[in-house]
Structure 1
Amino acid sequence: MTNALADLLAANDVILADGATGTNLFNMGLQSGDAPELWNTTAADKIRALYQGSVDAGSDLFLTNTFGGTAARLKLHDAQNRVGELNRIGAELGREVADKAGRTVVVAGSVGPTGEIMEPVGSLSHAVAVEMFHEQAQGLKEGGADILWLETISAPEEFRAAAEAFALADMPWCGTMSFDTAGRTMMGVTSSDLALLVESLPNPPLAFGANCGTGASDILRTVLGFVAQGTERPIISKGNAGIPKYVNGHIHYDGTPELMGQYAAMARDAGATIIGGCCGTMPDHLRKMREALDSTSRGDRPTLDQITAALGPFTSASDGTGDDAASADRRSRGRRRRA
């Protein structure tokens, strides 16, 4: 299997990834508590439409509808025996869409966290985690995914287990964590921790970075944290479309397409190579992101002040690295600017 993403990275200064999976599927009728992966077989046309929406908006890469495709997650829906099937079909549908795009579009097999806590804090052993990730990876490989895409991880132990599993599957991969707790992951990992972790792996990812988390400002601060470690590996930034707000019984994201366009250009200038959106990011957002990346020249690396002035304040005083005083000062100044 050729490494389609490596070839795309070699030929392009920046790559536009896709947007949200869940937000788009909820708009198509998915109900809270349902397993999106089951739609790969029961609502295949909607999954094709999900993928096609990203391609039509200009994405160079999209993730498969397999985020919760491990046995641990599918067990919640009595589908733990369908791991291979659901992941394979999720990738096959993506392959169909990508192959008729008329240009190179990478199909990235989405692999989310197991939802369980690993030893020594929890009960999930390394061996069992590797087995679950390997099973999912094999299904995605059989379905024609170009690359595996680990996302929304919080614990380094789970990141390592997935890396080992992907080596067993003989598949290239990318990996992102979610820095949603004052600049750290839920399990305390900082941007510098992740930059060091990926280089310590026997099977390092082709690219690494951050996804989801909180707002667009926060993820750019995390990207700057990766860059500060001097990494030469491509950096991923897949930020949410603004901040989630609970309105009339539903979660809405306040990021406009215009804001996400600004975010995309600033993410590129900050040092990210693969740029996309996460929760709340719709095709309209992606179109503005594509437009911004194509129509603006690369600029200087933005400062924290410039980020907050353009995209709004950080959601936490701390960026997770210990430079709390400077971060708090910029946070307050960002609030004044937005007001």
Structure 2
Amino acid sequence: MNPAPEEGRTLVVDGGLATRLEDLGCDLGDELWSARLLRDAPDTIRRAHRDFFDAGADVAITASYQASIAGFTARGPTRREARALITRSVDLAAQARDAAGGGLVAASVGPYGAARADGSEYTGDYGLDPDPDIAVDTLADWHRERWHLLADSGADLLACETLPSYTEARALARLLAETPGVRAWFSFSCADAAHISDGTPLARCAELLADREQVVAVGANCTAPDRIDGLIARVRGAPAVVYPDSGETWDAASGTWAGTRDPEAFGAAARRWRQAGARLIGGCCRTTPDHIRRIRDHLD
């Protein structure tokens, strides 16, 4: 199956996997986040994927976002077992896809900051060598083993997501070139309606990736929905992918989310995003199967 959206067609991406897992009773208070459940509760991950497919999603993003070999081996599994857990993320999504009768599996390639679990995935401040070429080498080396595992896993494409830095995008673009035949989207965490988290204009990131046959889309995720219209306008040379947060904000002082979740308004906004040029649309943090169902209803 060709993972690129057909001309004029919009694919619905799933919603917040971690949010769904928490709603199903899982405790994600661990540095591995949802990736821990690849070992401890794989059936629950499979169910969460199925819930999003049943709500109308065309694409499931795997639970490999925060997975890393170092992260798993630090908790007991051998290196071989850690590699198997990473590829299990694709197997679980594929099983849910097959049970639902069709769809695509996008293997999540989370940023280096996600494995650090220190918040740097939202800033891109990794403390690497100030020479950007050396930093690209460092990040490519760190990502390479997991990248090739996921590239060979049978996933339909790779979802390079929540990328906070232009340097990391360069590193992953290098790895994409190492794996001919693999396709991917690149989605950035964004500071505002024009810039990714490290301050680079999204337009510059899109220019880096534009017109590469292996890149199916460029865009934004894990950002506020009111930024999405402006971000779509910055993407040129590739279809846009957008899957923002619910619109709520995290209050660190109280440890709670502020604001309200409005799946209906989210679905209505998705129709506007499609009109602006987005060809893959879904949800990120705090979005549920109900959000995906409303997107499906509005796009249909």
Same fold? TM cut 0.5: yes
Structure 1: distance between partners of 2:96 and 2:211: 36
Match for residue 155 of structure 1? 165
Check the 8 A contact 2:221/2:242 in 1, yes or no.
Answer: yes
2:99 paired with 1:89:
no
2:58 paired with 1:56:
no
* Higher RCO (C-alpha 8 Å, min separation 6): 2
* TM-score under structure 1 length normalisation: 0.75
Match for residue 262 of structure 1? 268
* TM-score under structure 2 length normalisation: 0.84
**Distance change >3 Å, CA 114–CA 293, structure 1 → 2:** same
Gaps of 5+ in 1: 295-339
What is the SS of the residue equivalent to 2:100?
Answer: coil
Check the 8 A contact 2:185/2:218 in 1, yes or no.
Answer: yes
Q: What is the percentage of aligned positions where both structures have the same residue?
A: 27
State the one-letter code of the partner of 2:44.
K
Pairwise CA distance, 1:273: 0.7
Match for residue 207 of structure 1? 217
Pairwise CA distance, 1:26: 2.5
Specify the structure having the higher radius of gyration (Cα). 1
Structure 1: distance between partners of 2:259 and 2:175: 34
**Distance change >3 Å, CA 129–CA 146, structure 1 → 2:** same
Match for residue 277 of structure 1? 283
Pairwise CA distance, 1:243: 2.6
What is the SS of the residue equivalent to 2:272?
Answer: helix
Gaps of 5+ in 2: 114-125
Match for residue 175 of structure 2? 165
Task: Report the number of matched residues.
Answer: 283
Residue of structure 1 aligned with 2:202, choices 191, 209, 213: 191
Check the 8 A contact 1:179/1:190 in 2, yes or no.
Answer: no
Check the 8 A contact 2:193/2:230 in 1, yes or no.
Answer: no
Structure 1: distance between partners of 2:258 and 2:133: 35
**Distance change >3 Å, CA 37–CA 179, structure 1 → 2:** same
Pairwise CA distance, 1:180: 2.3
Structure 1: distance between partners of 2:60 and 2:53: 8
* Paired residues for 1:1-339 under 5 Å: 3-6=1-4, 9-10=5-6, 13-27=9-23, 28-35=25-32, 36-71=34-69, 81=79, 83-103=82-102, 105-115=103-113, 116-120=126-130, 125-170=135-180, 171-181=182-192, 183-199=194-210, 205-213=215-223, 215-226=224-235, 231-246=236-251, 249-251=255-257, 254-294=260-300
Structure 1: distance between partners of 2:84 and 2:158: 16
State the one-letter code of the partner of 2:244.
G
